[in-house]
Structure 1
Amino acid sequence: MGAGDKVSNKAEELGGKAKEAAGQATDNPRLEDEGVRDQQSAGMKQAGEKVKDAAEHVKDSFKK
């Protein structure tokens, strides 16, 4: 996973947490749901990047 991807995904996750909290504080369920979806999206991206990293590691182990 590239450093830029990590930062981008983490920023999306934190933004989602902020939206969720703002939605809860303002009693806005749509904003709260949007925040939850942003967090889920970031989590899926992070998982995908981890799979790519693991595959790269396996591929590299066969080169040795």
Structure 2
Amino acid sequence: MGLDDKIENKGEEVAGKAKEGLGKATDDEQLEAEGKGDQASGHIKQAGEKIKDVFKS
């Protein structure tokens, strides 16, 4: 569960960054905001995984 979740969360961050960049390039504020939201979600999930790792140790 741990490594797969970490990879999935990182993928969400990368996809969000791409979406944000595309939104900026096309002047689509909604797409840009969605990208930022996806990145934030990925960061929060990554933080949760790090906390889990601390308690496993």
Q: Do they superpose with TM above 0.5?
A: yes
CA distance in 2, matches of 1:16, 1:29: 14
Does residue 40 in structure 1 map to residue 40 in structure 2? yes
Larger radius of gyration: 1
| Structure 1 residue ranges (4+ consecutive) displaced by more than 4 angstroms after TM superposition | none
Q: How many residues align?
A: 57
Opposite residue 23 of structure 1, the aligned amino acid is G
Q: What stretches of structure 2 of length at least 5 have no aligned partner?
A: none
What is the Cα deviation at residue 23 of structure 1?
0.2
Pairing of 1:8-47 with structure 2 (within 5 A) = 8-47=8-47
Q: What stretches of structure 1 of length at least 5 have no aligned partner?
A: 58-64
Between the aligned residues of both structures, percent identity stands at: 56
TM-score, normalised on structure 2? Answer: 0.95
CA RMSD of aligned residues (A): 1.0
